[in-house]
Amino acid sequence: MKKITKATYLKWYEDMLFWRKFEDKLAQVYIQQKVRGFLHLYNGQEAILAGALHVMDLEKDKMITAYRNHVQPIGMGVDPKRVMAELYGKATGTSQGLGGSMHIFSKEHRFYGGHGIVGGQIPLGAGLAFADKYFKRNAVTLTFLGDGAARQGSLHETLNMAVKWNLPVVFCVENNGYAMGTSVARTSKSLDIWRLGNAYEMPCGPVDAMNPIKVAEALDEAIKRARKGDGPTFLELKTYRYRGHSMSDAQKYRTKEEVAEYQNIDPITQVLDVIKEKKYASEDEIKAINKRVKDKVSECEKFAEDSDWPEKNVMYDVVYEQKDYPFLAHKPE
Ligand X SMILES: Cc1ncc(C[n+]2csc(CCOP(=O)(O)OP(=O)(O)O)c2C)c(N)n1
Least separation in angstroms between residue 234's CB and ligand X is 15
Q: Label each residue of 208-240 as H, E or C.
A: ECCCHHHHHHHHHHHHHHHHHCCCCEEEEEECC
- Segment interacting with Mg ion, rule: CB under 5 A, options 67-75, 174-182, 275-283, 286-294: 174-182
Residue 178 within binding range of ligand X, rule CB under 6 A: yes
Does 148 bind ligand X (CB under 6 A)? Our answer is yes
Binds ligand X by CB under 6 A, chosen from 155, 179, 235, 297 = 179
Q: Which stretch binds ligand X (CB under 6 A): 6-14, 115-123, 128-136, 195-203?
A: 115-123
Distance CA 54, CA 58 (A): 9
Contacts of residues 79-82 at CB distance under 8 Å and 24 or more positions apart, as own/partner, are: 80/18, 80/22, 80/296, 80/300, 81/299, 81/300, 81/303, 81/304
Between CA 167 and CA 113 the distance in angstroms is: 20
Residue 210 binding target from ligand X, Mg ion, none, CB below 5 to 8 Å by type: none
Residue 35 interacting partner from ligand X, Mg ion, none (CB closer than 5 to 8 Å by kind): none
**Taking CB under 5 A as the criterion, which residues in 126-165 touch Mg ion?**
146-147
Give me the least distance between CB of 223 and ligand X, in Å please: 22
d(CA 253, CA 241): 13
Our finding on whether 176 is near Mg ion (CB under 5 A) is yes
Contacted entry of Mg ion, ligand X, none for residue 149, CB cut-off 5 to 8 Å set by kind: ligand X
Residues 268-327 contacting ligand X, CB under 6 A: none
Rounded CA-CA distance 254/287 in Å is: 34
**Is residue 149 near ligand X by the rule CB under 6 A?**
yes
- Looking at beta carbons only, is 215 or 286 nearer to ligand X? 215
Dihedral angle computed from the Cα positions of residues 67, 71, 76 and 78, in that order, rounded to the nearest 10 degrees:
100
Told to check if 180 binds ligand X by CB under 6 A, we report yes
Minimum distance from CB of 156 to ligand X (Å)? 15
- Give the binding-site size for Mg ion (rule: CB under 5 A): 4
Say how many residues touch ligand X, by CB under 6 A.
14
Pairing of strands 141-146, 62-64: parallel
- Compose the 53-92 pattern: x for residues touching ligand X by CB under 6 A, - for all others: -------------x-x------------------------
- Give CA–CA dist 286/179, Å, rounded: 35
Q: Which of the listed partners (Mg ion, ligand X, none) does 117 bind, with a CB threshold of 5 to 8 Å by partner kind?
A: ligand X
Q: Which of 331, 287, 242, 320 is nearest to 46 (CA)?
A: 242
Q: For Mg ion, which stretch binds (CB under 5 A), given 19-27, 115-123, 164-172, 177-185? A: 177-185
CA angle in degrees (0–180, nearest 5) for 195-263-301: 105
The burial class, CB within 10 Å (0-12 / 13-18 / 19+), for 259 is middle
Q: Could you give the 3-state DSSP secondary structure of residue 300?
A: helix
* 41 versus 222: smaller Cβ distance to ligand X: 41
CA distance 48 to 111: 16
State which residue, 66 or 210, has the beta carbon closest to ligand X.
Answer: 66
Does 125 bind ligand X (CB under 6 A)? Our answer is no
Q: Determine which helix (DSSP H) or strand (DSSP E) holds 85, and give its type and residue range.
A: helix 80-88
Query: Which of 8, 175 has the CB closer to ligand X?
Result: 175
Quick one: 168 or 177, whose CB is closer to ligand X?
Answer: 177
Is 187 exposed, middle or buried (CB count within 10 Å of its CB: 0-12, 13-18, 19+)? middle
The residue ranges that bind ligand X (CB under 6 A) are 66, 68, 116-118, 146-149, 176, 178-180, 245
The residue ranges that bind Mg ion (CB under 5 A) are 146-147, 176, 179
